[in-house]
Amino acid sequence: MTSSFPLLNLPSEAILHVLKSMDYGEFITISLLSKRAKQAVESMNLYCRHASVVISDSIILFMSRDSTHVKLNFTMDNVSDERTNGSLSLPDTVKLKIYTIGSQEMKWSIKGICIKTWINHFKAVFHFSKFDLLRFDENTSRFDIEELQTTLRTIGVLYILSDNGWDVKSILKHFPARRLWFNNDVFKRLGNPHSVLIQNYDDLEIFPEFELPNTLDLDDLLTTNSKTIDIHGLDWTEKELNRFLKHWIKGSNPRMEKLSISLFSLKASNKFNILKGIKCMEMPADHTRWFKSCNGSVETVTGGYDFYRRDGTKATINFWEFGMGEMYVWYSHCVGKEEEMGN
């Protein structure tokens, strides 16, 4: 904006019309000018589709709406390496980056505004109440976990990566979430993993270490009480997979709605060995059903092998070309409709 323009002196409808003609960098800048200017931008009813936080050497807030992305990178440039009470205060120097697919990006930086103020501001502007994902990466223990908890509050997915320097149980305590993702080396650091696996998560996902298989064993999986379970790089035999299915038939994992397992070995699995001793029916390849996950998403399930638990609950297992596949449990609330796809 190169000339003076009394925007806020216009009628509300005119202000809104002008704001909608601006790009993201312009109306975000305007939202910082005053309380009234912020309220005018809020009236645009912009809704963030995804908001996440990554904590590492810096703290990054990421918000996306359609094809436009807003990134706030809080750097440690102005913070001494000397710690107070064993941890660093959250930084107040931010580098903002706004970019839209197919257009030029915008960058600027500002000092002196704390992270909590920024979060509250963007929650109001983009109309969201919580972060979809919080990821703990390397060197996160430099920050005070109590301050982070107060600043970030409610989250959807908690994702704990390797070498974050904190006790895993402390992170789980301070950041309760319905969905938990972590790497296998984090899993191995859980002194008593079953105390975590038995929790009623909606979604539990465990990733393998680099070039190493996942160490989750049969007893671990039988203990897991999540609705959706996704285990990557599992080093199991066909016999172990067969044993799990037979345990499920007898009543194990009663909350489980969907199980995804990818095996560490890329060789093709023998599905007949996995289904050995299990009464099942192969469905035609063009037989289509729709499965509704606990997060509300609906996916297409074609073909597969149907089998039943002793209480009459039906499940379908679909095999990938290499390394196991997915198992769907058809509770009444998991039966979706084609028209629900993409909601």
Give the type of residue at 183.
N
Strand 228-234 to 203-207 pairing: parallel
| pLDDT reading at 268 higher than 70 | no
According to DSSP, the residues that pair with 203 across neighbouring strands are 179, 228
How far out from the chain centre does Cα 214 lie? 20
Query: What gap in Å lies between CA 214 and CA 235, rounded to an integer?
Result: 6
111 has pLDDT over 50: yes
Whether the CB-CB separation of 116 and 141 falls below 8 Å is answered with no
* Domain extents in the chain: 1-45
Q: List the one residue out of 92, 79, 7 whose CA is nearest residue 43.
A: 7
Amino acid at 242: N
Q: What is the pLDDT of residues 231-263, one digit of tens each?
A: 998 989 899 999 999 999 999 999 999 999 988
Overall average pLDDT of the 282-304 stretch: 94
- Torsion sign (Cα): 111, 114, 120, 126: positive
DSSP single-letter state for residue 282: E
SS3 content of the chain, % helix, strand, coil (to 5): 30, 30, 40
58, HSE (Cβ side, Cα atoms, 13 Å): 15
Angle, alpha carbons 79-83-86 (nearest 5°): 140
Distance CA 205, CA 203 (A): 7
* Chain segment 6-37, per-residue pLDDT in tens: 787 788 888 888 888 888 888 888 898 889 99
Q: Which two tokens stand for residue 317?
A: 């297992």
Give per-residue pLDDT as tens, 43-86.
999 899 999 999 988 889 999 987 888 888 887 654 444 444 45
Give the span between the Cα atoms of 37 and 33, in whole angstroms: 6
Q: Which two tokens stand for residue 251?
A: 């009543």
Average pLDDT of the chain to the nearest whole number:
86
pTM for the complete prediction? 0.86
